[in-house]
Structure 1
């Protein structure tokens, strides 16, 4: 296992893992399906998969749904991979029902490796993921350090039932409560950036008491909340600690609009 640190002092690094596959005599197809699309994190996952394909002599079929809230699109992609007779699947499941397709693939001799998250089943051959509870704790302890034990924080969760972000949120909450911080708002805002922006703006408008920091558990919620803070004139005044990395986040870090992000190595 190897994790690279980011050059900026604001960036916090979570535990991460990597996996390799042995090459076979024939060039095999490996399907790689992220939970969603359009975000820097999943783009890096695809880049890494393609690089592994070049190194190991594998055909990589990388494709994800445009929206993580569209489970039918991911199911259709799995059907395409089955038609292509890929030898194995690498999957970030976006709903628990994916276990049925994965179990059927296993019966057909096609193993699956889950990445980023699972829903607790035994149908996959392996799981490659960050220790998300620990990652949330890293963010929570940093929030406590910069705000002190009397700080007031907002938690914008992604959505119920996604084990990776659920664990990050639990880790953060445990750390800030242990440090004595007050959580003055705790809401789910969704995985779609537009939806999350609208919900975070509305929540902040309704919040009648002062607050000092915000935690967001993934790229889309961080991007949405950053936009909401900028619109409200609060960027840089409220300490936002998010998750994952993108060019927009680097720009925001340089402007002090974003205090920090926890980064996994995709």
Structure 2
């Protein structure tokens, strides 16, 4: 759902590059609206921490209006410059405004600084909801007190009941030891599964035949069913998940999904970082 592409070469032999977040944040706007609406009576005001970059601006454009239209009060202090590590002024404003839920879309640099400064200032909202800035390594860096229960935009996790995920459950540590997953592995390897399926359907290495074969694919992968629409897109497993420190290490608990995924979400874990349940 996030792609970088190159247009045909232009005079001078150079490429014109562009970066687009596509419909990614449209989907997450739907997810945040649905998830937060379950706890509407418990939420006073939602604060937004977004960086002034492509992802932050697109998230603001597509997530905030949807959440606001659902009846939530929003406090937006303005975009923060990338690389900002002193967010104490924003935290003070959140405390003054009665913000009790915070949505974050930054890089890990800003997010980790923000979360640690919240703790240092005694600011504890009922929920942190984050996008793109927190995976298992960031949870490890923050530690249990600051990370467990944080809800994150998540593309995939190996607990999803789809074909191929059993490998991650049984073999990951065998081959990669203590290396953390990032919640992107299922998507990355799914691309190979789908490409191989197209070659099998085509029955040849002719590129046109393989290209046409993609339209015939209908298979289950680690991220769910892959069947391309007429517009050549196939949406898969964008979800919301909580970070949880289990006996075997950090994991993610899928707490909200789109109905079309056909998966029952888990009950959110109640911690100091999630007090809405």
TM-score interval for Structure 1 and Structure 2 normalised by the shorter chain:
0.3 to 0.5
TM-score between the two structures when normalised by the length of structure 2: 0.44
